[in-house]
């Protein structure tokens, strides 16, 4: 667990796919009711609001369901850079893999691991000079069988994120490791019905990973 990263009043932006989106209200004002969705971003907003009120952190969710890294790149200027966030958390990658398995008959564009890395790298190069920092969360799959074809591909794309975090010296949260530890004790169906979209318990594991990554601040309460 690292040192607490944030200053009072920091603007914390979360970018990602449906796992981040999690039924947020798009028409809600940033950091307004309904804007956080019902997933890990909502849990983190509740944590920072209730237990760290003196920090006055602004938590904003701009995840969009179905996004790949390519989709994220296409909306990055409007949804991320224009917001002037202090810290941007990114969790992306599972759809980049999933479309290789469920997109065959729809003939959707597929994101290769090389394109995934190149797009991710462009976002980092474009963004790091404009913010206090970025936090990278790993893509993950709720699957304990490591030889499963989709799990193996998710692991490969996760390896790219881990490599970039190390190269750019960014805080990195390994959500997959947290999920795998849970699966040593309980069924995958507790965390997800489709191996991708988390239950509330699954979202709590993501929130815990993020808090540990940024250095959970002592509340003394």
Is the residue at 111 inside a domain? Answer: yes
pLDDT tens, position by position, 4-57: 999 999 999 999 999 999 999 999 999 999 999 999 999 999 999 999 999 999
Q: Give me the number of domains the chain comprises.
A: 1
Q: Which of 22, 138, 192, 197 is the catalytic position?
A: 197
Could you tell me the two tokens for 43?
Answer: 């849990």
Is the residue at 219 inside a domain? Answer: no
Q: Percent of the chain, pLDDT > 90?
A: 93
Could you tell me the two tokens for 204?
Answer: 């709590």
Is the residue at 139 inside a domain? Answer: yes
Give the helix/strand (H/E) hosting 45.
helix 40-51
Is the residue at 85 inside a domain? Answer: yes
pLDDT tens, position by position, 114-132: 999 999 999 999 999 999 9
Is the residue at 86 inside a domain? Answer: yes
Q: Which of 7, 102, 125, 194 is the catalytic position?
A: 194
Annotation marks residue 18 as catalytic: yes
pTM score, whole prediction: 0.96
Compute the average pLDDT of residues 200-209: 98
Per the structure, the complete domain to which residue 31 belongs is given by 11-214
Is the residue at 15 inside a domain? Answer: yes
Domain containing 155 — which CATH number? 3.40.50.1110
Is the residue at 3 inside a domain? Answer: no
Q: Which of 18, 22, 138, 192 is the catalytic position?
A: 18
Rounded Cα gap, residues 22 and 24, in angstroms: 6
Annotation marks residue 197 as catalytic: yes
88 pLDDT exceeds 70? Answer: yes
How far is the CA of 206 from the CAs of 70, 157, 175, in angstroms? 23, 18, 6
Is the residue at 2 inside a domain? Answer: no
């Amino acid at each position: 667990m690292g040192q607490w990263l944030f200053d009072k009043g920091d603007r914390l932006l979360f970018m990602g796919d449906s796992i981040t989106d999690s039924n947020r209200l798009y028409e809600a004002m940033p950091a307004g009711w309904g804007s956080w969705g019902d997933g890990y971003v909502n849990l983190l907003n509740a944590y920072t609001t209730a237990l760290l009120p003196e920090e006055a952190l602004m938590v904003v969710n701009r995840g969009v369901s179905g996004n790949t890294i390519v989709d994220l790149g296409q909306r990055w200027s409007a949804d991320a850079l224009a917001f002037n966030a202090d810290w941007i958390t990114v969790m992306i990658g599972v759809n980049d893999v999933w479309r290789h398995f469920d997109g065959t008959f729809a003939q959707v564009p597929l994101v290769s691991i090389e394109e995934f890395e190149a797009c991710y790298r462009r976002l980092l190069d474009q963004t790091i000079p404009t913010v206090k920092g970025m936090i990278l969360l790993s893509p993950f799959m709720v699957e304990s069988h490591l030889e499963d074809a989709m799990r193996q591909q998710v692991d490969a794309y996760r390896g790219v994120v881990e490599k970039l975090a190390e190269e750019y010296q960014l805080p990195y949260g390994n959500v997959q490791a947290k999920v795998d530890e849970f699966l040593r004790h309980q069924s995958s169906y507790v965390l997800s019905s489709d191996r991708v979209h988390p239950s509330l318990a699954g979202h709590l594991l993501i929130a815990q990973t993020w808090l540990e990554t940024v250095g959970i601040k002592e509340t003394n309460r």
